[in-house]
Amino acid sequence: MKFWQKISLGSILTFIIIFNLASVLIIERNHSKMLQQEINTMLRENMSIRSTLEMVAPLLKMYNSFEYEKTVFTNIGNEAVARNNDQMMYLSIVDGMNRELYSNVDFTVRHPELQGTSEDEIRYMLSDVDRRTILFTSSLVRVNQNLFTIGYMKDVTPIYQERAEQFRFFLQVDIAACLIYIILMFLISKGLTKPIDKMMRTAKVIAQGDFSKRVEIKSKDEISNLAHHFNHMVSVVEDKINELELHNLEKQRFIQNFTHELKTPLTSIIGYANFLRVTKYQEDVFLDGLNVIYNEAKRLESLSMKMMDLILAQADHFEMKRENLKTVIDEMDSALAMKAKDKNIRLVYDCEDCWLWLEKDLMKILIFNLADNAIKASPEQETVTIRTYADRQQCVLAVEDHGIGIAPEHLDKIFEPFYVSDKARTRSYNGAGLGLSICQSIARIHQGTFEVTSEEHKGTTVTVRFKVMGESEVDL
């Protein structure tokens, strides 16, 4: 059973139970109230007749005749019946010897339940007589030492007929109201759950792989909030899937590039080794071949070292210590100077004290790679500047060169592994395009962000901004 059907059925059953129960209670209450009014009226009338009989006691005592008593009681009875002006009123007066002094009753009165009534009480009961419902009241009155039984009755069948008529009318109203309510509830439930149906259909489409679908709901209720959160969830899932797909593409591209980078030097090494193996010895040929083999082997060595750096930079845990970045750079001066000497590059240090939490070996790899890239990109006898300074709760490292620069279309790809903008220049320096990828991983570990500004044929500035962390913020 669908949710909207459950809502409709539950609401309809609740309405039917409450509506019918309330209606029956109202009808029964009105019936009881009307019946009680009739009972009270009959009791008062019975009491009134008793009072009248007690008033004529002296007169009856004076004449002391049954016939006279009968005449007096007949007049009293006719007056009582006429006073109520109701053909459904019945009166019976019987003396102690069960002689009937007055009666307009057209049915047999046999109710032992009313016998034994004391002089100070009035009894009443309801009884069905000849398809009629009669209200009986009975009382005893003593007149001149004689007991008289007063039976005052009324046909209350119309009250029960009225109740039956109300039930018939209620049944008609009940059927009509239930039909209208059923139709309205089906429409309302269908309308209320329509957004949920939309979400279900959208969820099925999304489950089939189309994450571009969204639920469009214009209301401002809880279901709208649910749809909003559902759309947000789908967006997050879509972003995560796109991110995973991007990572998979990057991994695939990484493997392809890595395979290519391995294949090229290996092909050269195998080719020249085979050539030297089958060729007669000639010193100049052998030297050229050995130089090629040596250079390609150095490329493989450089590639393996870069791969080790990359793996190290992607590890999970490091021991961070609070260090002065200027001191770390000072420790690298000899290594950087040797690298710059190969191209006759002048290194300029403009370093201020800048303290931050870092892993020294990783930070040295980052600085060396940035400086190495700057040296490779610079022509001979140029200047490479390394700066450090503090800037608003940040420690800034900047490496500036005046080399060939980077084209704008390459700026957003330079951090991809094995990506190189100038393959010939990179190959000539045994490069593999891993340096900036390694630097980015190391910067991420130190909560650093990269900024690269470059202009072709004028130079490049790579800036890394590190957040100056407190000891409690450092991941150890």
CATH number at residue 467: 3.30.565.10
pLDDT above 80 for 113: no
pLDDT over threshold 90, residue 438: no
Q: With a cut of 60, say whether residue 473 has pLDDT above it.
A: no
Whether 293 maps to a domain, the answer reads: no
CA distance 384 to 372: 10
**pLDDT level of residue 431 (50, 70, 90 thresholds):** very low
Is residue 401 exposed (0-12), middle (13-18) or buried (19+ Cβ within 10 Å)? buried
Which of the listed residues 134, 163, 192 is the one where a domain comes to its end?
A: 163
pLDDT at 428: 46
Mean pLDDT within 329-357 = 90
Query: Is 100 within a domain?
Result: yes
Tokens for 3, please give them. Answer: 């949710």
Sheet (strand 383-390) strand order: 346-351, 383-390, 394-401, 459-467, 448-455
Confidence band for 464, pLDDT divided at 50, 70 and 90 = very high
The domain containing residue 445 runs over which residues? 314-473
This prediction's pTM: 0.49
Which of 130, 148, 163 marks a domain boundary?
163
The answer to whether position 322 is within a domain reads yes
Which CATH number fits the domain that encloses residue 125? 3.30.450
Q: Decide if 196 is inside a domain.
A: no
With contact defined as beta carbons under 8 Å apart, do 456 and 405 qualify? yes
368-406 pLDDT, tens per residue?
Answer: 889 988 998 899 989 999 999 998 889 999 999 999 888
Residue 232 domain-assigned?
no
Structural domain contains residue 274: no
* 151: in domain: yes
Q: Of all residues in the chain, what percent carry a pLDDT higher than 70?
A: 85
For the cut 60, the answer to whether the pLDDT of residue 331 exceeds it is: yes
Residues 6 or more apart from 70 whose CB is under 8 A from it? Answer: 101, 102
In this prediction, residue 162 has a pLDDT band, given cuts at 50, 70 and 90, of: very high
What CA–CA distances, in Å, run from 141 to 48, 100, 132, 178? 11, 15, 28, 56
Do strands 346-351 and 383-390 pair parallel, antiparallel, or not at all (unpaired)? Answer: parallel
Which of 163, 180, 197 corresponds to the end of one domain?
A: 163
Does the residue 396 lie in any domain? yes
> Structurally, how many domains does the chain consist of?
2
pLDDT band at 30, cuts 50/70/90? Answer: very high
